[in-house]
Structure 1
Amino acid sequence: LGGVVPLSEIDNLNLDFQEFSAKGFMLGHASVVSIPKDFPMVEYIHHLFEFSAEESCGKCFPGRLGSYRGKEMFDQVKNKTAKIPMQLLNDLLKTMQKGCLCALCGAIPTPINNILKYFSSEMKNDISA
């Protein structure tokens, strides 16, 4: 896992852990994954929650339930049955970031927050105030 860096920020970053962290991104396991421009960010967030729900160590409540609940919320968006309440999503991400015992679930909020910050226009139809 790592942060989601928009193209507009690429030229402003050196490929090192400290600089990524200082600018609000995360280099994660030191690899770079490219996401196609036409790939929906809502689908990428769904994938992150789905992955963490499956791979969570299960030792802590925020990781075990939080990743599953995030997946459920984005299942509803994919099925077009609901929008995600922004406050609920923010609360979930804060709880996971501060309360998860494992690095996997504790790191999930960073790329999602990057997406919400840099790709907000793409997310506007899927999030409610």
Structure 2
Amino acid sequence: MDYLPRYPQPFTLAEAIALDVSVISEEITRLQHSLRYLRQTQDTLHEHVASEKPEDIDPEISKALEENEDVIASQEERISILKMALAEKGVHAQNHYDLAPSTQMQTQPIPVGSSDDRSESGLGEGESGVHL
């Protein structure tokens, strides 16, 4: 089974299929956790931008919003690849790993200034996750 990802990914579908089910499941959970924090950050940034006059919007915030959208899409795609790998292994836990749609997800604000926010948000992806 071949899959051509839209975003650069750290592994191929074939490599994901070679992983143990427990490793795949843990990575899906980690990515879902990261997505939850990224979406919370996006909500906070959108609220800030909405409260500013257009000429006062910090270009760095606009850039962060765009970059986060790409990271979110990439991580969602990665979860899809991992789900395909589980299906290839005969594990059909679709509802267990389904993500809430971005627009309907209820979130809590992220505390500002926490040193863990960066690693949990997926911004420090090179430090954790599945490496092949």
**TM-score normalised according to structure 1 size:** 0.32
**TM-score normalised according to structure 2 size:** 0.32
Q: Which has the larger radius of gyration?
A: 2
